[in-house]
Amino acid sequence: MATKDDIAQLKKSIQELRRGQLEILLKLDDLQEKLEGGGGGEGKKPAEPEPILTCVHCSAEYEESKNAVGSCYYHSGMLRGVGWDFKYTCCGKSSKNFESAKFIAGCAKGKHRSVHHTEFTYANYIFYMQEQV
pLDDT by position in tens, the chain (length 133): 678 788 878 888 888 888 888 788 888 888 888 887 755 445 556 677 888 888 888 888 888 888 888 889 988 888 888 888 899 888 989 899 888 888 888 888 988 888 766 665 555 556 666 666 5
Q: What is the pLDDT of residue 123?
A: 54
CA–CA distance from 36 to each of 33, 41, 51 (Å)? 5, 11, 22
State CA 45 to chain mean position distance: 15
81 and 21 co-located in one domain: no
124 and 94 co-located in one domain: yes
Q: What is the pLDDT of residue 128?
A: 61
Range of the domain at 57: 52-131
Specify the number of domains making up the chain: 2
Measured in degrees and rounded to the nearest 5, phi and psi for residue 35 equal: -65, -40
60 and 125 co-located in one domain: yes
Q: How far apart are CA 133 and CA 129, in angstroms?
A: 7
CA–CA distance from 90 to each of 70, 74, 101 (Å)? 18, 10, 13
